[in-house]
Amino acid sequence: MIGNHDISYQAEAWDILQYLFKVKKINDHTLHFVAAFSGKLNLEQLEKAVNLSAHIFPLIRCRFTKSEGHPCWEDCGYTAKEMITYLETNNTDESVDNFICTEVNAFVGPQVKLQVIRNGDNDTLAVLMNHMLCDAAGFKDYLYMLSDVYSNLEENPSYCPKVSGDRKISQILKSFSVRDKIKIVIRKNDMSTHDPAKFELDGDLNTPFIEQRKILRETFCQLKAYAKKHAATVNDVMLSAYIRSLNRTFGHVVAIPCTVDLRKYLVDHKAKGICNLCTNLSCNIGQEIGTTFEQTLGKVKQTMDREKSSISCIKSIALLEKVFDILPYRTAKGIVEKSFSNAPIAFTNIGIIDKTSLSFGKVEITEAYMTGSIKYAPYFQLAISTYDNQATLSINLYGTQSDRSRISLFLDSIVQELQSVV
C-alpha cells in the first residue's frame, strides 16, 4: 500500500444510501461474483490488470471516511497485493463459499477483494465489490473492464483504457426533456409503502450464507421459449414463480419491489462511470393470483409492462441526490434515514453476464454467476443472474441453520414452479 491521503473523491448519494442500509441492518454492502475456468489464470498478468483497474476506477483503492461535512472516499494507494489472495485447495466449492461470505470493509479498504482458488489444473476467480460503489450493472462494468485489460495485456503490455467518469444520478435526468422532468417531479411514487408479509427468521449476525439453485441450460432455454410463446420475458416467468411460491407461504398475493436499472434511459444503456444507477418498481398484481401458472404470468406481464413504461420510479432516486447536493450532510442524512425504507421481501434480476464481454484471454470460463448483498433478518431477497443460458437463483442471509433450511425449501418450491411449465 502506498499512502496518498491527500487525494479524495466525493461520496455520491447512492454511496451514502447503501452505507445507511447497513447501518439500519437491512443488508451488508458486498456484491459477489464467481467464475470457474477450464485452465489456469496468469497470476502476474491478473495483478497487472487489477492495478490498472485501480487506475481506471481509483475508488477501489480508497477507504470510506465520515469526516466533518460530506463523506468521501480517501485514496489509500492500495495495490493488487492488498486486493488479491491465492488459495490451493481440493474442495473448490467449500473454498468459494468461505470467501464469498466475507465482507468488504468500507472504512479500511480496499473496496474490491479477489481470490484465485486453484484446484489442480483449474482456477476459480471469486470477486467481492463494495455495493456502495456500484450496483450489479456497475459491478459487471468493472468485471468487463478488468477482463478486457487482462486480455489486452497479453498482446499489448502498455494497454490502458480511459479513466472512469461521472458517477452521479443526474446523468439519468439529462436524458429527459423539460416536460418529462416535470412529469417525474409531479407523479406520485411512494416507495415507503410495502407489503407487510415477513418471513419468520431467527437471524444470526455471525453466520452469513448464500443459498443457491441452478437452472441448467436445457431447462432455461425451455423457459425462454415458454416466455416467448406468451409474449412475456424470462424475468416475468421468474417473478411469477416467486409470487406463486410466496402466495403458498403467506396465503395472499405479495406485492414485490423489483430492482430496475436506470441505464435503460442512457445512450447505449451505458453509464459514464462505475456507479449505482438503480431504483425499484412494484409488481403488485392485485388480490387474485389465478389458478394456473399461465394466469399468474399474464397478470405479472401486464403489471410489469405498465410499470416499466412509467418514468415515475425515477422520482425517489432523483430527490435523493438533490437532498444531498443542496442540504448540509447531517440534515440530508436525517431526512433520508426517515423517508427511505426497504420492503421485507424483494426481488432483483441481476440479468445476463455477457459472455462476449467477460473473457480472460484464452482461458475459457465454464460457469459464472453473481449474487447481491447479504440480508439481515427479517429482510429477504431473491436474486437471479444468468451466464451462457444457465441461471443462478440465490437468497443470502445472516441466519441460523434453521433459517437456511427454510430458505432451502422455499428455493425448491420456486424451482418446482419453473419446472412445472417446461
Find the Cα–Cα–Cα–Cα dihedral 89, 94, 99, 103, rounded to 10°: -160
Which of helix, strand or coil describes residue 392?
strand
Residues in the chain: 422
How far apart CA 54 and CA 77 sit, in angstroms, is 9
Domain boundaries, the chain: 8-155, 192-353+371-419
Is CATH 3.30.300.90 what the domain over 192-353+371-419 is classified as, yes or no?
A: no
| Integer Cα distance of 414 and 239 in angstroms | 10
Q: pLDDT tens digits, residue range 169-179? A: 889 988 888 88
Q: What is the pLDDT of residues 105-117, one digit of tens each?
A: 999 999 999 999 9
Question: Fold match between 8-155 and 192-353+371-419?
Answer: yes
CATH no., domain 8-155:
3.30.559.10
Residue 360 near residue 147, CB atoms below 8 Å: yes
Query: Does 40 have pLDDT greater than 70?
Result: yes
Note the pLDDT tens digit of each residue in 367-394.
999 999 999 999 999 999 999 999 999 9
Q: Could you tell me which of 372, 288, 306, 301 has the C-alpha nearest to residue 100?
A: 372
What lies within 8 Å, CB to CB, of 220 at 6+ separation is 234, 386, 389, 390, 391
**Which of 193, 144, 199 lies closest to 395 in space, CA to CA?**
199
Per-residue pLDDT for 194 more than 90?
A: no
Q: What does the alpha-carbon distance between residue 94 and residue 264 come to, in Å, rounded to a whole number?
A: 37
